[in-house]
Amino acid sequence: MMNNPAMQMVDMLRRGKNPQQILFSLAQNNPQVRQIMQMMNGKSPAELKRIAQNVAAERGTTVDDVARQLGITIPSER
C-alpha cells in the first residue's frame, strides 16, 4: 500500500515533513503527482480547496470523509 502516493504523503505528513517537499519528492517518480503539481501551480488556497472539494464530490465523497479515512485531522478555518 505504500506504493500509493497518497499513502506515502500521509505517512510523511504524520512524520512532520513539509507538504511541498513531499510533493516534489513524489513527483520525481510519479507522473500523476507531477501532473497534480502542475495543476496546483499558481492557485490560491481557496482555489485549491474548491478543486479538492470538486474532485471529492465527483467521487461521491467529501474532503472531510477522505481525511477521516486517512486518519488526518483538517484544522478548522475559524
Q: Which residues contact 3 (CB under 8 A, 6 or more apart)?
A: none
Report how far apart, in Å, the C-alpha atoms of 28 and of each of 5, 37, 70 are: 11, 11, 23
Kindly report the pTM of this predicted structure: 0.60
In this predicted structure, the answer to whether residue 68 has a pLDDT above a threshold of 50 is yes
Q: Please write the tens of the pLDDT for every residue from 1-56.
A: 456 767 777 787 778 877 777 778 878 888 887 888 888 889 998 998 898 899 89
Q: Where are the domains of the chain?
A: 1-41, 43-78
pLDDT at 3: 65
